[in-house]
Amino acid sequence: MDFRTLPTGDFTLANITVPSCLIGQEGDLTRTDLGITNGKIGANDGPVIDMKGAMVVPCFVDAHTHLDKGHTLPRASNPDGSFMGALNAVKADHTNWHGEDVRARADFAISCAYAHGTRAIRTHLDAGEEQDERSWPVFSELREKWAGKVDLQGSSLCAIDKYEMAGRFGRTADLVAEHGGVLGTVTYPMDGIKDLLRQFFDHAVKRGLEVDFHVDETMDPTSETLRDICEVILETGFDRPVQVGHLCSLSTQDEARAMDTLDLVAKAGVNVVSLPMCNMYLQDRHAGRTPRGRGVTLVHEMKARGIPVSFASDNTRDPFYAYGDLDMVEVLREATRIGHLDHSAPDWIKAFTTKPAEACGFDPVSLQDGAPADLILFKARNWTEFMPRPQSDRIVLRKGQQIDRTLPDYSDLDHLFES
């Protein structure tokens, strides 16, 4: 049977290869059969298809993205590839972020993610200059449009001192609550940071919100706001889920200090998301100088301490990252190379599926009986066949049915860039 076509209705995928950790077994990969019945995983009497060892994984969860920034590169390029260059380019482009502009670009990005096999996305939404008033209604429209295909979560994004915590930030927090989102902010070293964090958490407590931080996205070893966040969590007893992303400065700190910080992260019960592609693009960039540092956080040391670790796409085709397509297969392949996930524990696939789902509170990701048959099928029969190629011929099943994986054309966005 042609790998690219599968029957409709109930059937069984025989002789497939799955990550052992996703079916509760020891080891790396396991050969098994998987039935699909009424859109869910389960035995049936339908046709049996010999998949000849093809790999099968559940659809991915992308726990840290920026749908509102995505695909702005044609009109908002980064002049030097630096972090400050990206910040300034985005700030200047905010004047273009009216409702239809954000809607078209975000919808394009979600279409790509869906075609690649992602079933859930958390996106950050800029709040600066009252952009949140424009973006959150658009986000809610898109969440409704994509319901049943891609589950969407939104998280606010602004520097922790951008608005007065007793002033305009309250409006941001109200918008987040109104639209069923997550309260987010960016932290960096500054006087009074712990007092601002206490006020930030107080806003979250009053509205029953989960929180998400951009943290220490720098190679400066003195940037330790991760410690501040964890200490305030422990001091206040904040008990809603907390996710922190980036944590680049850990990679440049004294080993003992970094490990002590990770012990604090574990104690505070914080979830971590690593963004290796974007961090390598921005960090340690200097004109005419080869980068020395990767900017990738300490995922192996975190995992050893039981800290939940996820990997995600971050930015796509915007000033912060000129590449990407919200393809979690690309993130998996690149994270494996960048973070040396190979020659390690064989369950890193959880960092792209079950871990981000748990951290963000999305529906569980599973290959167990009764779970939705939201699956990705690859011709590759093992990781050594999977990693070298982009797996462009993958099959994506949603509720057991093969979807159209045609990607939107970049020309669909041309009208946004016409002067």
| 13-26 per-residue burial string, b: 16 or more CB within 10 A, e: under 16 | bbbbbbbbbbeeee
Residue 285 CB neighbours (<10 A): 18
**343-355: pLDDT as tens digits:** 999 999 999 999 9
CB 102 within 8 A of CB 68: yes
On average, the pLDDT of the chain sits at 96
Helix/strand/coil (H, E, C) string of 335-404? HHHHCCCCCCCCCHHHHHCHHHHHHHCCCCCCCCCCCECCEEEECCCCHHHHCCCCCCCCEEEECCEECC
What pLDDT score was predicted for residue 6? 86
Average pLDDT on 274-280 reads 97
Average pLDDT on 189-201 reads 96
Whole-number Å distance between alpha carbons of 217 and 280:
11
pLDDT above 70 covers a percentage of the chain that reads 99
What pLDDT score was predicted for residue 8? 87
Hey, CA dihedral for 89, 90, 92, 96, is it positive or negative? positive
Whole-number Å distance between alpha carbons of 370 and 380:
26
| pLDDT tier, 254 (very low <50, low <70, confident <90, very high otherwise) | very high
Average pLDDT on 38-58 reads 96
Whole-number Å distance between alpha carbons of 285 and 196:
30
Which 8-state DSSP code applies to residue 86? H
2: pLDDT strictly greater than 70: no
Which of the following is catalytic: 217, 224, 330, 334? Answer: 217
The residue behind tokens 């093809």 is 54
CB 176 within 8 A of CB 156: yes
For 18-39, the DSSP string reads: EEGGGGT-SSSEEEEEEEEETT
Dmax over CA atoms of the chain, in Å, equals 66
User: Nearest to residue 162, comparing CAs of 131, 186, 190, 189?
Assistant: 186
4: pLDDT strictly greater than 70: no
Average pLDDT on 50-64 reads 97
Residue 129 among the catalytic residues: no
Average pLDDT on 323-341 reads 98
Average pLDDT on 189-198 reads 96
Average pLDDT on 365-382 reads 97
What pLDDT score was predicted for residue 3? 56
What pLDDT score was predicted for residue 1? 40
Residue 336 CB neighbours (<10 A): 18
Whole-number Å distance between alpha carbons of 54 and 148:
26
Our CA angle for 330, 414, 93, nearest 5°, is 80
What pLDDT score was predicted for residue 354? 98
Query: What are the respective helix, strand and coil percentages of the chain, to the nearest 5?
Result: 40, 20, 40
CB 224 within 8 A of CB 258: no
What pLDDT score was predicted for residue 165? 81
Q: What is the SS3 assignment for 163? A: coil
Q: Which amino acid is at 60?
A: F
The residue behind tokens 């951009």 is 214
Query: In DSSP terms, which residues pair with 244 in a beta bridge?
Result: 213, 272
**72-131: pLDDT as tens digits:** 999 999 999 999 999 999 999 999 999 999 999 999 999 999 999 999 999 999 998 899
